[in-house]
Structure 1
Amino acid sequence: MNTVKIKKLILKNFKGIKKLEIDFKKVTNILGENATGKTTIFDSFCWLLFGKDCKDRKDFEIKTLAPTGEALHGLEHSVEAILEINGEEVTLQRIYAEKWTKKKGLADKVFSGHETTYYINQVPTKQKEYNEKVAEILPDSTFKLISNPLYFNNLEWKKQREILLQIIGDIDQENV
């Protein structure tokens, strides 16, 4: 099992947060009133690693919204984390941006979808390689176990038993 420490988390245009850098110390508290961004910070880290929010939804809004509720166009939405994995520093970054293309015969560019780009240690990476690196660092199921207090209780009892036996290792009849 890897030892993973979050050293820094950088959000740009993620949901309602324009720009935020968090330097994590040995103990870092994220506190605040309701609707001040605590869940957004957790969502950003989940999205960086797994492309989902903290409720395990892939289809959630990460774009910054105008007061009218419309998404602001032309912004690059990004989350970057500097992690320490077994003493080695690794930087992961995921960027979500709109694609605008100029079609032949038209004067203006036209919105043609979104694009997500991935970086490992500032090197552009394909999604498959990025996902493999994240899984090598911390599998999705392990992340949920350590970050969501409700996850274990919502598992089927056989899966709960399997996890508990994995944690305690070999046990003989006498110790039972």
Structure 2
Amino acid sequence: MKKLTFFFLTALACSCNNTQTTTKEAAKDSTSSTTASTPTSMNYPYTIEHPDNWEVGNTANTMTSLSALKAWEDGKLDESLKYFSDSVRLQFDGLDKKMSNDSLKVILTNARNMYKTIKVKMYDWESVISKDKSEEWVTLWYSQTWETPKGVKDSADIINDLQLKNGKITRLSEYTRKLH
């Protein structure tokens, strides 16, 4: 019986010591994760007016941006245009122009008519808002494949930066890399 009692006391002592070590390790991990998430001033190699200016934005803006793209992909241009404001700044390769929604309709219709089919494969998106709440943006990363009416197939990786105000797209900047 004395041996059994000694065995239990030894096990109890070891487990108490182990708990203490675990608590210290947990405290150390807690401290290191707090330190890692605490914002620090960085000495970046380039300077900009408002570094680290963004926070996670509104998911409704993401839905608006994705819905506008999906409607355009499906050839439903009137539906796509309802997500844009009355005045839109459009920036593509070789085009940087502020225009009315009616002019945007002409450009998007002409662009969509160049394709027989379009397929978007979405990779990621992010909605952000400036810390002063003055700007809201959504960025979409995707690949697009298409076929022209003449049967020519091609594809590109695309990034869209969409600025939104009051739930409407006010600016669309598109960056494209053709895939071969």
Report the structure, 1 or 2, having the larger helix content: 2
Q: Rg bigger for which structure?
A: 2
TM-score using structure 2 length? 0.25
Report the structure, 1 or 2, having the larger strand content: 2
TM-score using structure 1 length? 0.26
